[in-house]
Structure 1
Amino acid sequence: MTPANPAQREAWVGGTFPEVERVRPGLWSVPVPIPINPLRYVLVYVLELPDGVAIIDAGWNTDEAYDALVAGLGVAGYAITDVKGVLVTHIHPDHYGLAGRIRESSGAWIALHPADARLVRERYDDDAIDSLVQRERALLRRCGVPDLTLDELAGASMMIRHMVSMARPDRLVEDGDDLGLPGWDLRAIWTPGHSPGHLCFVSPERKVLFSGDHVLARITPIVAVHPQSGPNPLADYLDSLDAVRKLEVEEVLPAHEYRFLELAERVDTVLAHHDARLAEIEQVVGAAGAANCWDVATRLTWSRPWETIPPFMRRSANNETLAHLAWLEAKGRVVREAGEPDLWRLP
């Protein structure tokens, strides 16, 4: 993809942080660090308003992230108290985690899609999280995850929960909603897949798309079956890609990596990636005769050897494999034999 700012791409490739940047009049990009994560930072976008700013996404709830956001706002000429609203693309910690702390500092409203807003309590409330972990454990057992690692994988995300300040949204944003930001013709596009309530935001007048994690310059977002997903999230994701592909925009502003220019070309590349992945999974299932999801996942091509993938990412890999199997099942290309574990075969 052609980077909108080559220096931003060079920072990503070189393992450094990009600069706080004035993208265009009234719009800034602020990198906010993500601890212990290969993504390294989330790009928070600052939209100037007549009486302050609104931001798209927020970062993790750590002092380092908060300080970086405050410093970035300062470069743009604003303070944290000038934030009037936080548009959250989805409820993963690197996008939503700091939103509550920002609201405490500024009184800003927080906006989410209803499909993600419904998941907040079970995901981040101490009184509800045990139920979610047990549901994840049951799902992993049906996938064939070995007993030796079952508990470790089921609770693998617990280590990052403290990086979220749980905050219920003040506004619910539906597909097609005008955000009502003075000076901005910003419209919401519901793009489920990476999360049930993922939102992108498009400005037809400025010809820019804030794509969150939906479309990134080089990597593809995790699309997985899990206790809070729908039954076929990959179908949702592929449909959502089609929904944004036709947009007439000149620049894509994602939450990670770097800004780029060719939206339709990138969408086509991602669609081709999933076509290839689906074919690979079909081939593995056919060669095995019958296999559980975990065994299929261990036989796929990943960015590193399976043995070197840490537990949290192994769980993601398994659940992403399950999403592809569910899509193939819906198309009649594989058959599920229910049990503990479920077995998958070709028809």
Structure 2
Amino acid sequence: MGRIAGGRVNDARHAWIEPGAFEVAPGVHRIPLPLPNDGLRAVNVYAVEDSDGLVLIDSGWALADARGQLENALGEIGYGFEDVQRFLVTHVHRDHYTLAVTLRQTFGSKISLGAGEQPSMDLLLNGGQTDREVERLHRWGADRLMTQLAEAYGDEPRQKSPYEAPDEWIEGKVEIPLGSRTLLAVPTPGHTRGHVVFMDADAQVLFSGDHILPHITPSIGVEPARPELPLGDFLDSLRLMQSYPDLRMFPAHGPPGGSTHARVGELLEHHEQRLAQTLEVIRDGAGTAYEAALQLGWTRREKKLVDLDLFNQVLAVGETSAHLDLLVTRGQLSVDRHGEVAEYAVVG
């Protein structure tokens, strides 16, 4: 990632990650915060001015650099952490949730999270998520990745969980009054089972979290309590967005703006193409999710699975499993789950 003096980004494709507070709508500032890896580069936090202070949509990862960058950005628009009344968090992933937990411990800000995240939060707070991950990898035929994960992380000491329960669970579709504006929270399961987007109809904007991203397709079902058919949930949630007015997209990763409906159409088309590709590799002889992932191309550069880092290999196999299971529900594949490993075959 290239930079010039003063920390400014010199690559136009990634200009959106430049630190600061950027007004994207009246009373709404986008604040990009750093992440501990180069994959997503940054996460956008949106500071919404309220009559009593600020409401932040998402919070960032609980990192010292992210906290300092958020503090500086809020200072640019005349606020401090003590002015943050509430965090509206789109989903449970670390880069969206955990800095809110840290700041609440000092400043008492309230945290709201979609009710669909309760099963995953229970596992994050009480343990068990690692066992679930191991079971899934084995079921996907990815024992090789299990071994690599054990070699890479097995000796690392366990750290204290950065998670705590929210103050409020957002139940279903509900209006959230914020003084001079009202947001509509809409559940959009898929990326996670409790993902929520926030609509501001008057400002004609959608805080889309990771549900709709401008340049990449969000991962599907990456969560401790993975549902049975995460891709089916995701596609249904995309189609749900088409039933609302076409709002400007304020995503969690990437530059803001652009048509929600246009991007939804692109994502739906992408997954139909991916389903066709996944069906074809099973027809060519792959039997497990891992074997299928080895035959598919990844990223826009069509990389081989083994050329991805270990974390992204796990994501890729999970993504492949989601496509395979949807093809089963569509009647195009059959699956034999009588053994410990799920084996897929073309129907007919």
TM-score, normalised to structure 1's length? Answer: 0.90
After superposition, residues 109-120 of structure 1 pair within 5 angstroms as 109-120=110-121
Tell me the distance in 1 between the aligned counterparts of 2:222 and 2:205: 30
Matched, 1:257 2:269: no
Matched, 1:191 2:188: yes
Question: Structure 1 residues 227 and 15, CA, compared in 2 at 3 Å: closer, same or farther?
Answer: closer
The residue that corresponds to 1:20 in the other structure is: 21
The residue that corresponds to 2:145 in the other structure is: 149
Q: Is the 8 A contact 1:57 1:96 kept in 2?
A: yes
Question: Structure 1 residues 37 and 93, CA, compared in 2 at 3 Å: closer, same or farther?
Answer: farther
Identity %: 33
Matched, 1:211 2:203: no
The residue that corresponds to 1:326 in the other structure is: 325
After superposition, residues 1-347 of structure 1 pair within 5 angstroms as 11-13=12-14, 17=18, 19-123=20-124, 125=125, 128-129=126-127, 131-146=128-143, 148-153=144-149, 165-224=162-221, 227-288=224-285, 291-303=287-299, 304-338=303-337, 339-347=339-347
The 3-state SS of whatever aligns with 1:223 is coil
Tell me the distance in 2 between the aligned counterparts of 1:56 and 1:16: 17
The residue that corresponds to 1:4 in the other structure is: none
Tell me the distance in 2 between the aligned counterparts of 1:157 and 1:92: 20
Q: Is the 8 A contact 2:295 2:304 kept in 1?
A: no
Q: Give every structure 1 segment of 4 or more consecutive aligned residues whose post-TM-superposition deviation is greater than 3 Å.
A: 7-16, 151-159, 161-164, 224-227
Counterpart AA for 1:268: G
Question: Structure 1 residues 227 and 52, CA, compared in 2 at 3 Å: closer, same or farther?
Answer: closer
Q: Is the 8 A contact 1:225 1:322 kept in 2?
A: no
Superposed CA RMSD: 2.5
Deviation at 1:29, TM superposition (A): 0.7
Tell me the distance in 2 between the aligned counterparts of 1:173 and 1:228: 18
Q: Which has the higher contact order (CA 8 A, sep 6+)?
A: 1
Task: Point out the more displaced range, 303-312 or 65-74.
Answer: 303-312
Deviation at 1:293, TM superposition (A): 1.1
The 3-state SS of whatever aligns with 1:30 is strand
Deviation at 1:18, TM superposition (A): 5.4
Tell me the distance in 1 between the aligned counterparts of 2:304 and 2:321: 19
Counterpart AA for 2:263: R
Deviation at 1:292, TM superposition (A): 1.1
Tell me the distance in 2 between the aligned counterparts of 1:315 and 1:85: 34
The 3-state SS of whatever aligns with 2:185 is strand
Deviation at 1:142, TM superposition (A): 1.6
Task: Point out the more displaced range, 325-334 or 296-305.
Answer: 296-305
Deviation at 1:14, TM superposition (A): 5.6
Give the length in aligned residue pairs.
Answer: 335
Q: Is the 8 A contact 2:17 2:32 kept in 1?
A: no
Tell me the distance in 2 between the aligned counterparts of 1:139 and 1:154: 15
Consecutive unaligned residues in structure 2, runs of 5 or more: 1-7
1:73-114 superposed Cα distances (whole Å, 9 cap, x missing partner): 111110000000000000000000111112123211100111
Deviation at 1:286, TM superposition (A): 0.7
1:112-164 superposed Cα distances (whole Å, 9 cap, x missing partner): 111113321312x3xx33x2212221221121113x431444798998x9696
Question: Structure 1 residues 113 and 217, CA, compared in 2 at 3 Å: closer, same or farther?
Answer: same
Consecutive unaligned residues in structure 1, runs of 5 or more: 1-6
TM-score, normalised to structure 2's length? Answer: 0.90
Tell me the distance in 1 between the aligned counterparts of 2:223 and 2:26: 41
Question: Structure 1 residues 328 and 157, CA, compared in 2 at 3 Å: closer, same or farther?
Answer: farther
The 3-state SS of whatever aligns with 2:284 is helix
Tell me the distance in 2 between the aligned counterparts of 1:162 and 1:66: 19
1:42-93 superposed Cα distances (whole Å, 9 cap, x missing partner): 1100010111100000011111011111111111110000000000000000
Q: Is the 8 A contact 2:172 2:186 kept in 1?
A: yes
